Structure 1
Amino acid sequence: MTAQVTEDVSAEALGRFDMVIDVRSPGEFAQDHLPGAVNLPVLTDAERAEVGTMYVQDSRFKARRLGAAYVARNVARHLEGAVADRDGGFAPLIYCWRGGMRSNAMATIFDQVGWRTTVLSGGYRTYRRYVTRRLYDEGLALRFVLLDGHTGSAKTEMLGQLSAMGLQTVDLEGLAQHRGSLFGALAGRPQPSQKLFESRLLQVLDGLDPNRPVVAEAESSKIGDRMVPPALWTCLAHAPRMELVASRPERAKYLVETYADMIADPAALMVAIDRMPVAPSLERRAAWMSLIAAGAFADLAEAIMALHYDPAYDRSARKQDRPLLGVVDIVPTEPQSVARATARIAELVAGLDDGGVRGDG
């Protein structure tokens, strides 16, 4: 019995397997992996480094022998653990970096067990070429409509409520693990790699119905350190928008609640302030430090919006040539106001006809 081979990494194809197994090291897996994949490494990060060093600096034969010993032990551990409860009909897909020794080693053993094993030809690199083609070289046949508005107008919260109502949404900030601003880093949650961000994004996009509009926040081409891929950016750049309007004091109150983690770390807050493209004067910076010391964070938020965020948004709005579907007033700190605004946004989205803007080039 020999393992089958496939190059198909579409969502439909991957869904036919009982388990997608990534046998690469945990470090490789953390950088990016196929959607839904389970990491059952045949070499740990330390073992992989040891074998690689021996291969280059000592003896290829010794490196292969050592690697084989590690692989045998690790596969045995997975047989006794992660896949111990699988019956004779188990049908996994196995992949490594390029469909070589690591995936074939596990596949050979799984074949001997009697499982219907498939190896991904070309390994992870085949999948990565697929993602690149979809997000960089092709178009997306999806219709987007954007939530726009000044910083602090509860766009992200509204996106979640629209999703709960059954509308199609894409939460780019959630996928990028960043709130999309200088102060947007999430405490204790580093951003995913660019490749992992793209993998998660493509998985979400593939789950959308192209016949229904998709709501997303109006974002810049970068969210933190992650770049929005060209295929999606083309869609967003031409999508109609809906603008949320809220007063600056109300937005400041909302930001104090939303950025509670940043407020809890004054040192990180000052680091972010010092990265602002329009640097505050020494006098203004001292005043802001006094606000932080006094716990006057709403006043600080207003001051930062007045200097940086609101002028940047207003400049961008003046250059805006995307259709404006409607303007919706909102008090972001009042749940009833947010609910009313969400209902109005849902009405505007429902009013889109099939002739809406598409991003399929």
Structure 2
Amino acid sequence: MNRISAEEFYRESQGGTIIDVRSPKEFAAGHVPGATNVPLFSDEERAIIGTLYVNSGRNVAMEKGLEFVGPKMAGFVRTTNQILAEGSSEVTDSSEPGSDFTAYVHCWRGGMRSQSFAWLLDMAGIKVRVLEGGYKAFRRMAQRQIGRRHRMVVLSGLTGAGKTNFLELLREAGEQIVDLEGLANHRGSSFGAIGLGQQPTTEQFENRLFAAVQALDPKRRFWVEDEGSRLGRVVVPSRFVKQIRRSSAVFLDVAKEKRLDILLEEYGDLDHEELIDATRGIQKRLGGQNMIDAIKAIEAGDLRTAAEISLTYYDRSYLKGMSELPRASTLNLSTDGMCDADVVAKLIDAADEIENAAEPASVVSD
């Protein structure tokens, strides 16, 4: 059983098997991307042990913990071997997955839960590596990496400009991207959650963001969409937002009619009641009469008119926000008469121009 640093743990475990032995509630709040939860204690058992520790002391709490864990030990080994087997294409029906593959184990602080689980796996002949400092150490590393200086180019543009689509097209063209909206499972507006299901916690969003950035080549630039400090319920790390706001951008100048076409394609098949609820959510910013008119248009099936009313607010808000940013530079790219492939080529040219003209960026301060 070897204890390794957070950096070693994350690097070595990529494509491997990460086992998080914390309780299900802890795991749901946030976990290392790709980890599997094999809880040493259930949420209820953990609460009982915690209460005993406070009221009766460490030894009593330990005894209760052993009482809970004892009957589960064989199951822990079977589950781990199954996870190892499922995670490797090299395991055959006759092979012993534990003898050939490594389980990367952690708890919250690298304490008794991960140590005892690792001891059990070691006794069963399973190779195991333990995260020194636990998930807490991983979080410190992730937040530190997210906050460092990045080589980014910001893709800017008014609502409906198709920024998310162009990010994907840039990726297909060989550019690196970080899709914040994809990581947050939210489109970034008051209507952004409709039809997408549950968002991750802010903590898990940060973990996903770390994994996305960590997978990139730091010697090359990456593109990121111009976003604010929140994506639905998710809060974007402040140091990352500061870099977005200060980095050079390319502004996609898309005609309003085209933007309406894009919005109808994206939102046109969504539930009208949810669209109405989202419209009510921006009443103060949209204005009472505009909200009423937009809702009537939705009820009548005239989503283009409803979208046009909403764009009045979103365009004004976006342009005001842009004017207040301490952005290094912004290049305007008109897309009139251009196909998507031409736009992507022009975006890459614009990014090259920005980088060729840029002076060394300053480190973002707290």
Counterpart secondary structure, 2:12: coil
Query: How do residues 65-84 of structure 1 correspond to structure 2 at under 5 angstroms?
Result: 65-84=63-82
User: Which residue is 2:90 aligned to?
Assistant: none
CA contact (8 A) 2:185 2:196 kept: no
Q: Distance in 2 between matches of 1:179 and 1:269?
A: 14
Q: Distance in 2 between matches of 1:31 and 1:330?
A: 45
User: Which residue is 2:267 aligned to?
Assistant: 259
Identity, in percent, stands at 32
Structure 1 position 123, deviation (Å): 1.4
Q: Distance in 1 between matches of 2:64 and 2:196?
A: 37
Q: Distance in 1 between matches of 2:356 and 2:6?
A: 30
User: Which residue is 1:110 aligned to?
Assistant: 121
CA contact (8 A) 2:286 2:310 kept: no
Q: Distance in 2 between matches of 1:330 and 1:74?
A: 65
Instruction: Pick one of 45, 48, 59 that aligns with 2:46.
Output: 48
Structure 1 position 351, deviation (Å): 4.2
Which ranges of structure 2 fall in alignment gaps of 5 or more residues?
Answer: 86-96
User: Which residue is 2:6 aligned to?
Assistant: 9
Q: Distance in 1 between matches of 2:78 and 2:217?
A: 41
Q: Distance in 1 between matches of 2:288 and 2:101?
A: 66
Q: Distance in 2 between matches of 1:280 and 1:166?
A: 39
Instruction: Pick one of 190, 197, 213 that aligns with 2:198.
Output: 190
Structure 1 position 70, deviation (Å): 3.0
Counterpart secondary structure, 1:117: strand
Q: Distance in 1 between matches of 2:282 and 2:120?
A: 56
Structure 1 position 200, deviation (Å): 1.1
User: Which residue is 1:339 aligned to?
Assistant: 341
CA contact (8 A) 1:21 1:94 kept: yes
CA contact (8 A) 1:19 1:92 kept: yes
Structure 1 position 327, deviation (Å): 1.4
Q: Distance in 1 between matches of 2:286 and 2:353?
A: 44
Q: Distance in 2 between matches of 1:32 and 1:76?
A: 27
Counterpart secondary structure, 2:339: helix
Q: Distance in 1 between matches of 2:323 and 2:100?
A: 61
User: Which residue is 1:298 aligned to?
Assistant: 304
CA contact (8 A) 2:290 2:309 kept: no
Which residue type is aligned with residue 14 of structure 1? Y
CA contact (8 A) 1:149 1:243 kept: yes
Give aligned pairs, total. 347
Structure 1 position 248, deviation (Å): 2.0
Counterpart secondary structure, 2:117: helix
Q: Distance in 2 between matches of 1:149 and 1:97?
A: 41
> Structure 1, residues 196-247: CA drift from partner, whole Å, max 9, x if none?
1111111111222232221111111222232332332232222211111222
The higher relative CO (CA closer than 8 Å, separation ≥ 6) is in 1
Structure 1 position 72, deviation (Å): 3.2
Q: Distance in 1 between matches of 2:175 and 2:287?
A: 45
Structure 1 position 110, deviation (Å): 1.2
Counterpart secondary structure, 1:83: helix
User: Which residue is 2:29 aligned to?
Assistant: 31
TM-score normalised by length of structure 1 = 0.85
Say if 2:217 is the partner of 1:209: yes
User: Which residue is 1:119 aligned to?
Assistant: 130
Which residue type is aligned with residue 2 of structure 2? Q
Alpha-carbon spacing, 1:354–1:112, altered in 2? closer, same or farther (3 Å): farther
Q: Distance in 1 between matches of 2:69 and 2:134?
A: 17
Counterpart secondary structure, 1:215: strand
